[in-house]
Structure 1
Amino acid sequence: MMWKDKGQYSFSTCWNIKRHQTGSEMINEIRELGFRFVELNYNVTNELLSTIEPMIERGEIGVSSVHNTFPHVADPDYGTDSVLLGFDDEEKRQRSIDLLIRSAEYANRYGAKAVVVHPGEVPFDYNIDNELKKLYNEQGHESPAYTKLWGEMIERREAAAGHYLSRIGDSLEEVCDRIDAKGWDVSIGIETRSRCYQMPTLREAKTIFDRLQGARVGLWYDFGHGMMMERMGLYDNARDMEAIKDNVVGIHIHETVGLSDHWCPYVHSGDMEYFDRFLPIIAAVPVKVYELKAVCTPEEIEQSHELLLAKLAGLPA
């Protein structure tokens, strides 16, 4: 069945990429949901692109954005949970910059407006975020064990953040200069992240935008990740979004249930109010992408989108 036309809204291939061997089948399944635009995520391979590119050329699907590193790079050093643009190793940092430029080149070729990038993190010896989420779920965020470990994480994060932010800023400056030199109409969107040691927070993003005023870099506001980080104690979306609202170049629309993300807004949480704080940003931004997990059904996606449109229609003009 064909669902209602979703207009300017886009949909990430992360929803169904594991179900398909052929790119065109993956895109057609998304088109059946009523989406005319897709975000090609970082697991899209050259093989999948071989049947997607003809569809782009024929105008059967538009590309709103691509997600770095694109097409897929198997090396975890340049994956989605990496120091990436903040590497101290100059060779690795340059490779990260080159790969981001390559993603931007594909975005430009496909007529996409933005590249989504996970810019970096404060490195830890082990995945402290996993440990914290386990404690959060088992003992609660006010438990002594969670509070103690959270304090240790914050202390290390705050001590090292300035250094890594500066490296990320250097890298983004070079990326933007190179994109400008090539004349590409593509923005770089640095994404709010899903692990507490990853960057940027909304305030960290603001320091980057203040440094790179006028550059083609903005925030890629991932609402579900923002909700998770707020619950864990890293930042407050309603308070901090005021500082960055004019710098948002794109969004990932999804919601969390507890600390589990990529659910359909309003539908899976049953909370009809919390997500409303993001509505003004959804209304204002140029690139709006649903980023949902595979278990979300077409019916749930439709229901969530209709609820979202009704909420947006009720916003003051």
Structure 2
Amino acid sequence: MMIMKAKGEYSFSTCWNIKKHTVGRELIEEIRELGFSRVELNYNITREMLTTIEPMIERGEIGISSVHNTFPHTPDPDYGTDSVLLGFDDEAKRKRAIELLVQSAEYAHRYGAKAVVVHPGEVPFPYDISEELAGIYREQGRDSAAYQTLWTQMLERRNSLSGHYAKRIRDSLEEVCDRITSKGYDVAIGIETRSRCYQMPTLQEAKTIIDGLKGAPVNLWYDIGHGMIMDRMGLYDNAKEANEMIDYILGVHIHETIGLSDHWCPYIHSGDLEFFDRFVNIIRQAPIKVYELKAACQPEDIERSHELLTGKIARLETQG
């Protein structure tokens, strides 16, 4: 059996094994066996699970790097991870989304976490056009006429409405920051790059929103695998723009994408020992580093991936 080394400052998302467990303590223990002493509590963690996780936090058995909005689990899809959320035009829904994000920040503060990860919103479409585009991408390719026609339709709607929804999101984040600052929470909000082409923010949208908040505790949460998907689909130049925005980054979700399938172990499942290197300096400099892997990633895959990644970071540091 492989001996799992301590992972130091690196954290690990509970999305890896959330579907295996109903008891929070058992979920956390399995992650600890991988060598992680810190976790990100994801949005599927329930209040019932917290009854056995909270004593572990209080005893110092596990540290919490971050929580993922909405937290704890909120079953209403209006406030889920794929919704308009902070961009709602319906004022009652927008206010509810704000309340839930403040609640997530309250839990983060209570657990000693420094960040709340949030999927802030989207340009609404009548159906999941990103899924249709992905199907064409796989079957006919990005350069096909079918893909380019539908992509152009998507982009026209996205571009025409993104400014409006970005403003709604920025206004909501301003309210959230006022609330959490007044409560004395030492917690920042990380707006996460997303995996569907109509979702917000792109890297440039994130920059605009953050710059517009003028020093509020809002930063970029850079999801590397999601950025890879958006790059392949044609929305933005992921590695170039992310490296240019390195000073905006609060935290990273570390995973690799194969084609348009994400949450794989970097270097291991792709078999490519070089492509992911373009993100190594971002990970090195990110204040919060979280692996966000799918259940198919086995412990030995995770261990080997971490060894490769940290070895590359160590070599980068010796080069100055």
Kept in 2, the 8 Å contact 1:206–1:243? The answer is: no
Q: How does 1:20-169 map to 2 (within 5 A)?
A: 20-169=21-170
Kept in 2, the 8 Å contact 1:38–1:62? The answer is: yes
Alpha-carbon deviation of 1:244? Answer: 2.1
Measure the CA separation in 2 of the matches of 1:166 and 1:187: 19
Kept in 2, the 8 Å contact 1:23–1:49? The answer is: yes
Write the deviation string for residues 206-255 of structure 1: whole angstroms up to 9, x where unpaired: 10111112110000000000000000000002321244211110110000
- TM-score, normalised by the number of residues in structure 1: 0.99
Write the deviation string for residues 13-57 of structure 1: whole angstroms up to 9, x where unpaired: 000010011100000000000000000000000011110000000
Partner of 2:297: 296
Partner of 1:199: 200
Alpha-carbon deviation of 1:60? Answer: 0.1
Structure 2 runs not aligned, ≥5 long: none
Q: How does 1:215-234 map to 2 (within 5 A)?
A: 215-234=216-235
- TM-score, normalised by the number of residues in structure 2: 0.98
Alpha-carbon deviation of 1:276? Answer: 1.1
Kept in 2, the 8 Å contact 1:203–1:243? The answer is: no
Measure the CA separation in 2 of the matches of 1:214 and 1:243: 19
Measure the CA separation in 1 of the matches of 2:86 and 2:220: 15
Measure the CA separation in 1 of the matches of 2:237 and 2:192: 16
Runs of 4 or more above 6 Å deviation: none
Matching residue's letter, 1:169: R
> How high is the sequence identity, in percent, across the aligned residues?
71
Write the deviation string for residues 69-102 of structure 1: whole angstroms up to 9, x where unpaired: 0000000000000000000000000000000000
Measure the CA separation in 2 of the matches of 1:179 and 1:167: 19
Q: Report SS of the residue matched to 1:219.
A: strand
Alpha-carbon deviation of 1:286? Answer: 1.0
Write the deviation string for residues 178-203 of structure 1: whole angstroms up to 9, x where unpaired: 11111111010000001000000000
Q: Report SS of the residue matched to 1:158.
A: helix
Q: CA RMSD in A?
A: 0.8
Partner of 2:251: 250
Aligned residues: 317
Measure the CA separation in 1 of the matches of 2:219 and 2:136: 33
Alpha-carbon deviation of 1:291? Answer: 0.2
Kept in 2, the 8 Å contact 1:86–1:93? The answer is: yes
Q: Report SS of the residue matched to 1:164.
A: helix
Measure the CA separation in 1 of the matches of 2:59 and 2:46: 20
Matching residue's letter, 1:224: G
